[in-house]
Structure 1
Amino acid sequence: MGNTVVVALYKFVTLEDYRELREPLLQCMLDNQVRGTLLLAEEGINGTVAGSRAGVDALLGWMRADPRLADLDWKESFCDKPPFLRTKVKLKREIVTLGVEGISPTRRVGSYVEPADWNALISDPDVLLIDTRNDYEVRIGSFRGAIDPQTQSFREFPDYVREHCDPARQRKVAMFCTGGIRCEKASSYMLEQGFDEVYHLKGGVLAYLEQVPEAQSLWQGECFVFDERVTVNHDLTQGSHVMCHACGQPVSAGQQQSALYRQGLSCPHCHDRLPEKTRQRVQERQQQIELARQRNQPRPLGPGSGEASSAD
């Protein structure tokens, strides 16, 4: 187990003063040497951060001192080196972008399902199981029998529901995502669309992998995460995928053996379709990364930097 604590957290809660919260929250992160990105919006807080045990505990304690965040929940994992290079607190319209006005999990939300009860639910043949994550995440791993909406961003999820789901035929719907935030908001949307029984995995896939023994697991593959680890295994250790800095797509261990894969420059997903200007840009960026590594400096950000903390 590594000595860097990685914390994924979110909470849907009304924060009318979210703009005023930004500076003190950022200062708390800086004071405790916690890196990563937190998103603040009127609908709540979301993000992934990492630091020492003491630093992370201090940040969580500061947040939970606010009565509105007193019951804040989070998932922890560990790694050998810091997965984030910078410390950010961003102000947003939504803490996860669905792009549909009037959808609020603080007013209406589906039924939470504990990881221990998830297998029984999704084994029910009458349950429609939907993976609310993006297509590149689903490609890496998913639950057995789950439907892949083939969305490239969470904004596309409402279109998928309108075109492919019918509340008159599919009365029971179960959804999941990485940490729980997307499927929670999706459940609110599904209820607004007239679906009667809507369930979502509490804590997301990360909570399931942590709590359900691998021998009993219905999860197949690795799980994509929004930091430099790229993916995690069932035991939440770092997985085998790396990120292509040219196109931002995860690259499997097998694809890394391809002649089309060049670290920082191309991968089988993008080798034959990269515009020349993009190719030149990523080559320059890779040179900057190598120079930063030699100087022991933070590497420059780019399309596949892993610095995202939420999933749009």
Structure 2
Amino acid sequence: MASVLNVSAYLFTAVADPGTLRPTLKERAIAAGIRGTIILAEEGINLFLAGDADAVRGFVAELRRDPRFAALTTKESWSEAQPFGKLLVKVKREIIRMDHPTIRPADRRAPAVDPLTLRIWLDRGHDDAGREVVLLDTRNAFEVDYGTFEGAVDWRLERFTQFPDAAAARRAELEGKTVVSFCTGGIRCEKAAIHLGELGIDAFQLDGGILGYFEKVGGDHWSGECFVFDEREALDPTLTPRPQR
């Protein structure tokens, strides 16, 4: 029986003291018996955690009591075993590295499309204005190889820092279309959509990412699995981990 709760979450929000906050969060997580990774930066927080359901939800609830993290929303899935070997709490320059300092989602969020609306667009073959919808996978190539949306554009990125140059080189291919950028949980595709908007592209991010789509829609228009960065390796559209080999 799957009894370990896995949560992923991120929030772009101003954090002036990530180094000071780090030991506090680490102490709380250890006390709760939680494992996983928490990344802190001046631009926000990104986390992947697993453990007893009450402990994990309690940790998140305590985190939300900090006004900076009050808007944090989590995506939940379950596993039979703890998918993380240890707890890591890191302070970095960015919670997801893009090396593009003008992209500041805490100041202005990317336009977003919710999973149910995206499914309607894909069912129709166009958005509400009748424009062609282009799905743009912002993940690394090895992640895409596990699974992606049918017909999605894949630029074979080796790392996310390559995205700005790839977008500049392919800008003409996206002009005049409605572009929906997507990624595992939403963090990369949010920065990607903001950058595309700066290039003059009509771009949205998929709200909640692939995992949010699985949770609300399932596997419609999806082929394969979704790679995740823990020992589960990949989840199918029912959010079930792939069988251990």
Gaps of 5+ in 2: none
Deviation at 1:70, TM superposition (A): 1.0
After superposition, what is the alpha-carbon deviation per residue over 1:185-244, rounded to whole angstroms, capped at 9, x for unaligned?
11111122222x211111100011111144xx11110110010000011111112587xx
Secondary structure in structure 2 of the residue aligned to 1:16: coil
Alpha-carbon distance in 1 for matches of 2:186, 2:206: 7
Q: Deviations over 1:8-37 (max 9, x none)?
A: 010001111222110100001001000001
| In 2: Cα distance, 1:213 partner to 1:142 partner | 13
Larger Rg: 1
C-alpha contact 1:167 1:194 (8 A) present in aligned 2: no
Alignment of 1:245-260 (within 5 A): none
1:135-174 alignment runs, 5 A limit: 135-166=141-172, 169-174=175-180
Secondary structure of the residue aligned to 2:148 is: strand
Superimposed CA distance per residue, residues 46-95 of structure 1 (whole angstroms, 9 cap, x where no aligned partner): 02010101210221011001011112101000000000011111000000
Aligned residue-pair number: 239
How many percent identity over aligned positions?
A: 39
- Work out the CA distance in 2 between the residues paired with 1:177 and 1:148: 11
Question: What is the RMSD computed on CA atoms of the aligned residues?
Answer: 1.6
- Counterpart of 2:83 in structure 1 is 83
SS in 2 for 1:173: strand
TM-score normalized by the length of structure 1: 0.73
Partner of 1:19: 19
Looking at secondary structure, tell me which structure has more strand per residue. 2
Is 2:8–2:185's contact at 8 Å kept on the other side of the alignment?
yes
Question: What do residues 125-167 of structure 1 show as CA deviations (whole Å, max 9, x unaligned)?
Answer: 6222210011011111000110011001111111110111238
Other-structure match for 2:242: 239
SS in 1 for 2:172: coil
Q: In the alignment, which of 200, 205, 211 is matched to residue 200 of structure 1? A: 205
Give structure 1 regions of 4+ aligned residues with deviation exceeding 4 angstroms.
none
- Give the conservation status (yes or no) of the 8 Å contact 1:231–1:241: no
Can you give the 5+ residue segments of structure 1 that lack an aligned partner in the other structure? 243-312
Q: Which has the higher contact order (CA 8 A, sep 6+)?
A: 2
Once residues 118 and 94 of structure 2 are traced to their aligned partners in structure 1, the CA distance between those partners, rounded to angstroms, is 28
